[in-house]
A and B are shown apart, each in its own frame.
Chain A
Amino acid sequence: AQKITQTQPGMFVQEKEAVTLDCTYDTSDPSYGLFWYKQPSSGEMIFLIYQGSYDQQNATEGRYSLNFQKARKSANLVISASQLGDSAMYFCAMRGLQGAQKLVFGQGTRLTINP
């Protein structure tokens, strides 16, 4: 079985600061993918970044980077130079790359950016 744990229910950060959102995972799949999604108040899930379990380099997408530590089973999201529009719920998710294709989500972290 797969499990995602996000231990920060809420985070408050000043605009322009960097922020790290924590995510740990557990799986018995030999290969898997890790994802971060942003969910604004409108409800739609917006894909941010992806990390494959065999990728040697940490993924980056603009202001987003994923700090992947396989031995620790962690996949933290780092947002650099935060903006007011970054205020939203953030979900870490994973899926095995064999068999069932479903995404397993964590409980989410509510990020609030203060001006």
Chain B
Amino acid sequence: EAGVTQSPTHLIKTRGQQATLRCSPISGHTSVYWYQQALGLGLQFLLWYDEGEERNRGNFPPRFSGRQFPNYSSELNVNALELEDSALYLCASDDPTAYNEQFFGPGTRLTVL
């Protein structure tokens, strides 16, 4: 069974640009979560999508947005990039009715210059 996949692995942008990160969940999972992990810190919850709808978002500005497609894959968009957006962005998926662990992808490392 294929795990959660993310692309690209690395992304380098300059301040003010936009970044798009992609995630494909495990087959059968309808929920996708996005987390930000700044260097040396824990994971901070960004966004939760389920069945194509945004269900919850963390304490991040509106320039962090995303969507979930009919096949349950998801995109995270970060507009007007700032230096402090440099981080590892992790995507996770689960079955929201199962109350078990979230399965994580390998992450996208975003560097803003």
Contact = CB atoms under 8 A, between A and B. Distances in A.
**What is the size category of the interface that chain A forms with chain B?**
20 to 34
Given A33-B99, A101-B48, A107 B42 contact: yes
Nearest to A33: B99
Nearest to B9: A43
A72 interface: no
B43 A103 contact: yes
Interface string B81-113: 000000010101010100111111111010000
Contacts, number: 61
Interface in A1-59: 33, 35, 37, 42-47, 50, 52
Contacts of B102: 47, 103
A93 B109 CA distance: 22
Contacts of A101: 31, 33, 48, 50, 55-56, 94, 96
Nearest to A32: B99
B107 A43 contact: yes
B105 A44 contact: yes
A100 B99 contact: no
Contacts of B16: none
B33 A102 contact: yes
Interface string A92-106: 010001001111111
A56 B88 CA distance: 36
A43 B109 contact: yes
A47 B103 contact: yes
12 contacts: A33-B100, A43-B106, A45-B43, A45-B90, A52-B99, A100-B56, A101-B33, A101-B50, A101-B94, A103-B35, A107-B41, A107-B42
Given A102-B58, A107-B41, 18 more contacts: A42-B106, A43-B109, A44-B105, A44-B106, A47-B103, A50-B100, A91-B43, A97-B99, A100-B48, A100-B55, A100-B56, A101-B33, A101-B94, A102-B48, A103-B35, A103-B43, A106-B42, A107-B42
